[in-house]
Structure 1
């Protein structure tokens, strides 16, 4: 195998498990979660359950991009480890300031940094990072790694629904009147990420019907892909029910949505993401020790 010279960095909004990120050589920087009790790193001692409990208690809980200094430290660590270039694969700039922080930190990086705005979030972003990591492990150049991340992100589709509209209202995604009306009728929105922003594309009456629609939309998207991979996730302590796992002609996984997504969507948020993956991704899977992400 060719020598690896390109480091790949992403942020915790992608929802990748640490073991999977490490298997693909992806360095993950946590976003911040700010509360009246202090600032925490996403998932580090302050998970989705703690965030939701704090919000339900009336506390202000917000997310913030990683500090520029944290990005600078990550870039220096990658350079010291022998990387000649870095490719950053981040959450949509329409949803977070992480891309801006990475670009600011890149100005002082000891090695060249390419910052990719994936225009998406969750495992759609995560698959772009894994694809980039796989090409990097195969010895790809910085341009090849960056183009792989862009292509995978562009191919990806992510759909989701929520069990309550209150958290979307708090985050400003919908109005209070719409949230009240939807709750009265038990309407559940079907949402997607388009041009980097959250868009409502349909609505169903009842949670199960909405989740089935989300799963079906993702499965139909995967059917049009040559080499798809897919993921489902559910905010809360329960695993994704079997009927809401995807069936596609490619590997799938169950992902734990990160704290940063749970804050904006609340308990019961279910999502399904698919992406067209490069052959290098499947090459890494064959030797993976953590299963098939």
Structure 2
């Protein structure tokens, strides 16, 4: 059976990697001053960071059900007999809902997976699904591989300000006000599919140091079978320095470093540093 895998642009998979793994990516939209741009096509993270720094009005928009329907239909036309569609948390975006609506009218079975994650935590789930597909597993097992990998992911992040999350409705107003008081620097995480405050520290340096400590704890819970990614927005030098330290302290030969896409960037703002620890599937013995 020919099985296709679909995800959305917030999964942070580089275009060449998505192509190599035969993953179809449906883009979200970024709206700047009432003009809509397609993530990964006509707006870059650098464009987004400049817009935010300039104080321009920025928001985001999910793909429509019709956009998903066209994607699914195209895959069917190319021979897909089943589709597994894996997306960011339904508790921060209606993207998953759009996928579900489109799946109802698709000519072949579509299994929609709510990763309850964001960024590379979703991306690693997609890659595990691709591994399962390439191993010849069924659509149900491919979807399960994605869900299982999602459940083994932990993401922590530091933002320079909670204002962008507050404006986008991704975190409560009270938390935003508390985070800005007395120059407190927040560390947040993804828990149960939602962005939640984890800790508050006094300085940026301490926040980044605490990110390292939390990452080490998360990695230890998975033994030595983990993938780690550092993501950022307009903070490449800090991200690469953090990745180097994590690689050394965790004994990893590779820590992935990438800028978040414009859609996630719109909600976190310039200066974001995020770390995802994703436990790999257990090895059968």
TM-score, L = length of structure 1: 0.87
Alpha-carbon displacement from aligned partner over 1:179-207 (angstroms, at most 9, x marks no partner):
46644532111111111111101111111
SS of 2:24's equivalent? strand
Equivalent residue for 1:84? 81
* Separation in 2, partners of 1:124, 1:139: 23
3-state SS of 1:116 partner: strand
Distance 1:58 1:190, change over 3 A: closer
Pairwise CA distance, 1:135:
1.1
Provide the alpha-carbon RMSD of the alignment: 2.1
What is the match of residue 103 of structure 2? 106
Q: Does 1:46 find its partner at 2:49?
A: no
Q: Quick one: structure 1 residues 147 and 182, their matched pair in 2 at CA, closer, same or farther if it must change by over 3 Å? A: closer
CA distance in 1, matches of 2:78, 2:215: 38
Which residue is equivalent to 1:242?
A: 241
- Secondary structure of 2:83's match? strand
CA distance in 2, matches of 1:36, 1:165: 21
Partner-residue secondary structure (3-state), 1:104: helix
- What's the CA shift string for 1:201-231, capped at 9, x where partnerless? 1111111211221232122212221421110
TM-score, length-normalised on structure 2? Answer: 0.89
Match of 1:74 in 2: 71
The 5 A counterparts of 1:271-290 are 271-278=274-281
1:213 to 210, 215, 218: 210
Superposed, 1:1-293 pairs within 5 Å as 5-172=2-169, 173-175=171-173, 179=176, 182-183=179-180, 185-226=182-223, 227-236=225-234, 238-239=236-237, 240-245=239-244, 246-247=246-247, 248=250, 251-278=254-281
Aligned length, in residue pairs: 276
**DSSP-derived class of the 1:46 partner:** coil
Q: Which residue of 2 aligns with 1:286?
A: none
What's the CA shift string for 1:57-88, capped at 9, x where partnerless? 44321111112121111111222222211111
Once structures 1 and 2 are overlaid, which stretch shifts more, 113-122 or 218-227? Answer: 218-227
